[in-house]
Amino acid sequence: PMGSPSFLERAQALLRVRNQLARECLAELLAVFVLIVSGACRRAGAGRGAVGALGVLGAPLARGYSRSPRTLCSQPRSLAGAHLNPAFSLAMCLLEQFPWWKFPIFMAVQTFGAFISSAAVYAVHYDAIWHYSNGTLTTSGPRETASIFATYPADYVSITNGFVDQVIGTAVLIVGLLAIMDTRNKAVPKGLEPVVVALLVLSIEVSMGSNCGCPMNPARDFGPRLFTYVAGWGAEVFSRGNGWWWVPVVAPLLGSVVGFAVYQLFVALHHPPEDGAPRAEQNSLVFVGTALTEMSPGEKDAAGILPQKK
Amino acid sequence: PMGSPSFLERAQALLRVRNQLARECLAELLAVFVLIVSGACRRAGAGRGAVGALGVLGAPLARGYSRSPRTLCSQPRSLAGAHLNPAFSLAMCLLEQFPWWKFPIFMAVQTFGAFISSAAVYAVHYDAIWHYSNGTLTTSGPRETASIFATYPADYVSITNGFVDQVIGTAVLIVGLLAIMDTRNKAVPKGLEPVVVALLVLSIEVSMGSNCGCPMNPARDFGPRLFTYVAGWGAEVFSRGNGWWWVPVVAPLLGSVVGFAVYQLFVALHHPPEDGAPRAEQNSLVFVGTALTEMSPGEKDAAGILPQKK
Amino acid sequence: PMGSPSFLERAQALLRVRNQLARECLAELLAVFVLIVSGACRRAGAGRGAVGALGVLGAPLARGYSRSPRTLCSQPRSLAGAHLNPAFSLAMCLLEQFPWWKFPIFMAVQTFGAFISSAAVYAVHYDAIWHYSNGTLTTSGPRETASIFATYPADYVSITNGFVDQVIGTAVLIVGLLAIMDTRNKAVPKGLEPVVVALLVLSIEVSMGSNCGCPMNPARDFGPRLFTYVAGWGAEVFSRGNGWWWVPVVAPLLGSVVGFAVYQLFVALHHPPEDGAPRAEQNSLVFVGTALTEMSPGEKDAAGILPQKK
Amino acid sequence: PMGSPSFLERAQALLRVRNQLARECLAELLAVFVLIVSGACRRAGAGRGAVGALGVLGAPLARGYSRSPRTLCSQPRSLAGAHLNPAFSLAMCLLEQFPWWKFPIFMAVQTFGAFISSAAVYAVHYDAIWHYSNGTLTTSGPRETASIFATYPADYVSITNGFVDQVIGTAVLIVGLLAIMDTRNKAVPKGLEPVVVALLVLSIEVSMGSNCGCPMNPARDFGPRLFTYVAGWGAEVFSRGNGWWWVPVVAPLLGSVVGFAVYQLFVALHHPPEDGAPRAEQNSLVFVGTALTEMSPGEKDAAGILPQKK
């Protein structure tokens, strides 16, 4: 509205990044950051009997809800494709809606975003974590704090069961997302996708979180785990749960393929051919991305996932 | 967007099912599957004092919310009529909106879908169920796990009271659904129906769940019960609660008829005749179907339904 | 869609009520019934330590949510004005949007609807109430069940404080409703009013429920109280809390007047005059009505209102 | 609809305020009042073991939800700019969307609104507060009631950590708000902004509330703190937590600047220049304002923020 170039206009002239991929990666990074920082839980502060447990309970609820706003900052109209989750990026590649060559780049950016978000979460909860952990950052035991960042299976859950859990969980998620994105499927009005996706993710997490917290997102799980390794929790973050760490990396990707195949076989392939209509709505990808971002594993205590404190 | 036939186009050419009824049944099956797997609760993992109870509490909330996304995969625009619940299919028949001859077919598909979903739920929670049940799958007692799958009445609830509960509960649900579907009733905007329906179902379940978990869906209750019978819980799944099993099959169907009659007598019959307007909106049936799918009975513990563990 | 008159068409020819007021009252009655039955809580079943308390906690949440669907059955397009709450009807009269002569009629219908709903709630929870109350229906003491139906103040709340509570609570509610209904106030899109109203009511109830359960609805409180008097709880339903019963009848009506005046003085009177625009949107009244229907008082335990059981 | 001037028309002729700034301030005042009164928690009533804790838990949920309705009364179409939070007003100034000279006026009105709302909350909960506090209004100790009104840090949280917490929390909030407001960012449909903003705020609060309740709003924290000082809690409301009171005043303003800068650097500056499109949508400011209003600090107990009672 102003005549002479304003401060913002001058800043834009100076700093504007014109490369499409770079802009996509910046937005993806910010989106993952907002997602994780706003969804991080306070395990340490929460471990106080009933009241603490209630705080933890609130977390998964809020996490589910907050799926919707998070995608916002990742999808200005002029930037394409915030996915937030490698499992979703993979499904987009299979759908022929996202180029295969961008897949590893996005996966790296998503994982890096999760890593630096973990640093911010650590900064915000620095006093609480050290207060709670009595001066030692541990990955197991009654005062462990590693599960604030990454997921660990419940004591009674085998690697096999955890793997099946993550394949089925992610497959169900991808079936739901593909249904929401399917333009021949007019069910969800334009702006409600993030809410619907958030409810879908919340539902799956609450239903399946008891085994291993239902990460369903390789980047969201591996980035923070790497951070805890670097920040002083030590190698146990990879060894605990019989080397559990690779399950939330591999199983969601396999689940994504399974979910894609099931939706094609049960629904999409049987659509009558339409007059050149696009196979799915580009714009709606924006919202769907939201759903794939996972909850902070520390929040998953509410589902009784991790070994309970005595 | 591609010129030469893509992988997906070739798959479609090969595998496409053109029969309308077959496509409807496939979509109904997938919808019931997604519904139940994403809504299944983790009773076993949850049975741990306050924290466990909190996990269970989360479940009904999520279940209520998740009504909305579930319908999505069942209703591509080109497939008509995912109902998810025989009680809803019956109301649609009474409304002269669904052919009577399809009613038994849908009821069978819905029940079969609930059966196979129970198998998936069992697979996902295999370790947890066996860990919790100490090696014996029982239908009653402090370590029972049958109520993860089907409903059982609280100890103090007679068959008569449970029957009345299910008739009134389903009737109120059907009144709400008919009001939402009524085109002469402009209250709910097009895309908000699933959310509104989910809130209605959640409200009824929370209000009435203490007696017997408020199944309100014959297929959702009988399919999983059959699965538990087959999978090793034994004949007690039919005998417990003085032969309770038939109540959630018969009462919701009767409740559907009652709800239909009440809505006609109190509201619909008194609408002034309009110029050939359709009696109800075909498209909105899609959303309504969502609401009729019921919660996993195991989740109902939160309402204090089943005999509590000491 | 059929040529020959269908069953429904013949039923309509036979039973159709053409009188506008009669149709409004029928719809109002059904709306109140659905509201109360779907929102009734199970206090009896809930009184079981932590798990019971959790069930009770769920209730107010669901109640808040379920505001939205409930209005649905009360507002077919051809029937005007389901209010569900005398306090709202009063505000409509003050706004010159509802005729004063209909006010007592609506108040009577709303109260009668609440009365018969209480009978249905009693029927559904018959076994649970008698099981919980050990064979005596009492209004006070550790096994009291009267607060399932009507509100009673916490022990430490005086009549004066309760009165102030209800005046302020209802005034805030009416301010919010008038803002939502104000057409010069484009904030809420057409179909979202019920959700927004539900969140407003939920917020007020959670915030202010600890004193006396925040009834904010004379009909919703007095109808069920009358039912408990008739059904065997005895005269204590009127005497308990130093004759508390008249506070939730009178204070919400006064609060309605206060809220109306505040909104006029702070906002509405200062609107620049517009070219003959209607003062508020007739159609949106439909949704607003929802909000005024109150929660089942038994549910209010979650807020710690009533004397706690030891 | 009437021919002769009605009561309301005559009142308007008499009382109408024509000054734009005065009308904005009246609306801002009423908005803050409704916000705080409907979001106030009942700490006193809630402090009763598990049941009390549950009541407290409900509060943050409702508070999050109720963001949406609250803005309603502050934004009649003809009144511009209810912000409810100085941190948001500051971001609007930085965005060149709000005049700098109005910033201190709005900050004063917001703080005054929070002050008088605290008086109303005190009136409503008068009996409960005195009953709970055993006759002495204290700011610390097992029966303290000051945290019903303003925030105090957990015992283990240093001023530095609390400051970082509030800067990061507010920055994430402002990033989300700017993304929602960005017109080049079509993600959120017109009417859904308040819901999306509410979910964002709820998510941040639940995630970060354990340190100091995550006020993120100088007016919302300082106004009630001043009230408690005046009303008899004494000077400890400023001294407790090593002079904590200035942190929720200064840190959110700094966080607002940080969030503004991050969103510009990561997203906004890289938008391709468009044909004279407005930089952000004036009307959508309305909704965004909602999010910035903060929760009642007393409600934050649920997150385990404040020293727990033994």
Q: What is the DSSP string of chain A?
A: --SS--HHHHHHHHH----HHHHHHHHHHHHHHHHHHHH---HHHH-SHHHHHHHHHHHHHHHHHHHHHHGGGG--TTS------HHHHHHHHHTTSS-TTHHHHHHHHHHHHHHHHHHHHHHHTHHHHHHHHTT---SSSTT--GGGTS----TT--HHHHHHHHHHHHHHHHHHHHHHHBTT-TTS-GGGHHHHHHHHHHHHHHHHHHHH-----HHHHHHHHHHHIIIII-THHHHHHHHGGGHHHHHHHHHHHHHHHHHHHHTGGGSPP-SS--SB-TTTHHHHHHHHSPPPGGGGGGGT-SPPP-
Which pLDDT score is estimated for D76? Answer: 29
Which pLDDT score is estimated for A200? Answer: 72
D19-299: CATH superfamily: Glycerol uptake facilitator protein. (1.20.1080.10)
Domain ranges of chain A: 19-302
- Chain A residues in contact with B34 by the CB 8 A cut-off are 172, 175-176
Can you tell me the mean pLDDT for D53-74? 31
C17-303: CATH superfamily: Glycerol uptake facilitator protein. (1.20.1080.10)
Q: What is the pLDDT of residues C68-105, one digit of tens each?
A: 333 333 332 222 346 788 998 999 899 888 899 999 99
Between residues C107 and C177, the one the model is more confident about: C107
Structure tokens at B13: 């050419």
Mean pLDDT over each residue of chain D, to the nearest integer: 71
With CB atoms and an 8 Å threshold, state whether C45 touches B196.
no
Q: Min CA distance, A156 vs chain B (Å)?
A: 6
Q: What is the pLDDT of residues C191-226, one digit of tens each?
A: 555 566 666 777 777 777 778 888 889 998 999 999
Is 60 exceeded by the pLDDT of residue D292?
no
Q: How far is the C-alpha of D126 from the C-alpha of D166, rounded, in Å?
A: 31
Which pLDDT score is estimated for B10? Answer: 81
- Could you tell me the pLDDT band of residue D25, with boundaries at 50, 70 and 90? confident
Structure tokens at C188: 């809420």
Is 50 exceeded by the pLDDT of residue D195?
yes
Alpha carbon A42 to its chain's center = 17
Percentage of residues of chain D with pLDDT beyond 90 = 30
Q: How far is the C-alpha of A239 from the C-alpha of A225, rounded, in Å?
A: 11
Which pLDDT score is estimated for A283? Answer: 26
With CB atoms and an 8 Å threshold, state whether D58 touches C53.
no
Which pLDDT score is estimated for A166? Answer: 93
Q: What is the pLDDT of residues A250-309, one digit of tens each?
A: 999 999 999 999 998 888 888 776 544 433 332 222 222 222 222 222 322 222 322 333
Q: Min CA distance, C61 vs chain D (Å)?
A: 8
Subunits with 3+ Cβ pairs within 8 Å of B are: A, C
Which pLDDT score is estimated for B208? Answer: 77
Question: For the domain B15-302, what is the CATH code?
Answer: 1.20.1080.10
- Could you tell me the pLDDT band of residue C2, with boundaries at 50, 70 and 90? very low
With CB atoms and an 8 Å threshold, state whether D73 touches C197.
no
With CB atoms and an 8 Å threshold, state whether B51 touches A54.
no
Q: Min CA distance, D232 vs chain C (Å)?
A: 19
Is 70 exceeded by the pLDDT of residue C280?
no
- The CA–CA distances, whole Å, from C227 to C119, C149, D209 equal 7, 8, 44
Q: What is the pLDDT of residues A80-102, one digit of tens each?
A: 346 788 998 999 899 888 899 99
Is 60 exceeded by the pLDDT of residue D266?
yes
With CB atoms and an 8 Å threshold, state whether A65 touches D203.
yes
Q: What is the pLDDT of residues C112-141, one digit of tens each?
A: 999 999 999 899 989 988 988 888 899 988
Which pLDDT score is estimated for A175? Answer: 87
Q: What is the pLDDT of residues C9-56, one digit of tens each?
A: 888 777 777 777 888 888 888 888 887 777 644 332 332 222 222 233
Which of D1, D17, D45 lies closest to C210 in CB terms?
D45
Q: What is the pLDDT of residues A138-186, one digit of tens each?
A: 998 888 888 888 889 988 899 999 999 999 999 988 888 887 777 665 4
Q: Min CA distance, D214 vs chain C (Å)?
A: 18
Percentage of residues of chain B with pLDDT beyond 70 = 66
Between residues D310 and A162, the one the model is more confident about: A162
Which pLDDT score is estimated for B239? Answer: 94
Between residues A69 and B161, the one the model is more confident about: B161
- Chain D residues in contact with C267 by the CB 8 A cut-off are 26-27, 30, 73, 76, 79
Which pLDDT score is estimated for D177? Answer: 82
Test the B interface: residue of C4, C9, C51 with most B CBs within 10 Å = C51
Q: How far is the C-alpha of C263 from the C-alpha of C179, rounded, in Å?
A: 8
Is 80 exceeded by the pLDDT of residue D117?
yes
Which of C55, C78, C192 lies closest to B304 in CB terms?
C55
Asked which of C268-282, D4-18, D166-180 is least confident by mean pLDDT, the reply is C268-282
ipTM: 0.73
- Chain C residues in contact with D46 by the CB 8 A cut-off are 210, 303-304
Q: Is the dihedral of CA A62, A63, A69, A73 positive or negative?
A: positive
Averaging pLDDT over each range in C88-92, D65-69, D266-270, which range is the top one?
Answer: C88-92
Averaging pLDDT over each range in B38-52, C30-44, D172-186, D226-240, which range is the top one?
Answer: D226-240
Query: How many CA atoms lie within 13 Å of A225's alpha carbon, on the beta-carbon side?
Result: 24
With CB atoms and an 8 Å threshold, state whether B304 touches C51.
yes
Which pLDDT score is estimated for D247? Answer: 96
With CB atoms and an 8 Å threshold, state whether C45 touches B304.
yes
Alpha carbon D5 to its chain's center = 40
Is 50 exceeded by the pLDDT of residue C183?
yes
Can you tell me the mean pLDDT for D67-78? 31
Q: Which residues are A182's β-sheet partners?
A: A280
- The CA–CA distances, whole Å, from C50 to C47, D51, D308 equal 9, 8, 19
Is 50 exceeded by the pLDDT of residue D149?
yes
Q: Min CA distance, C109 vs chain B (Å)?
A: 14
Candidates B223, B212, B235; CA nearest to B152 is B212
Which pLDDT score is estimated for C277? Answer: 40
Which pLDDT score is estimated for B31? Answer: 81
Which pLDDT score is estimated for B65? Answer: 30
With CB atoms and an 8 Å threshold, state whether D206 touches A287.
no
Averaging pLDDT over each range in B230-239, C299-308, D15-24, D175-184, which range is the top one?
Answer: B230-239
Averaging pLDDT over each range in A46-55, B296-305, D165-174, which range is the top one?
Answer: D165-174
With CB atoms and an 8 Å threshold, state whether D12 touches C269.
yes
- Chain A residues in contact with D189 by the CB 8 A cut-off are 189-192
Averaging pLDDT over each range in A103-112, D200-209, D269-278, which range is the top one?
Answer: A103-112
Which pLDDT score is estimated for D111? Answer: 94
Q: What are phi and psi of B29, to 5 degrees?
A: -60, -50
A19-302: CATH superfamily: Glycerol uptake facilitator protein. (1.20.1080.10)
Which of A78, A127, A286 lies closest to D161 in CB terms?
A127
Which pLDDT score is estimated for A162? Answer: 94
Structure tokens at A214: 């239902």
Which pLDDT score is estimated for B101? Answer: 93
Which pLDDT score is estimated for A210? Answer: 79
Mean pLDDT over each residue of chain B, to the nearest integer: 71
Which of C73, C190, C192 lies closest to B176 in CB terms?
C73
With CB atoms and an 8 Å threshold, state whether D196 touches A194.
yes
In the chain, the amino acid numbered A131 is H
Percentage of residues of chain A with pLDDT beyond 90 = 30
Residues of chain B with pLDDT under 70: 1-4, 39-82, 183-199, 273-310
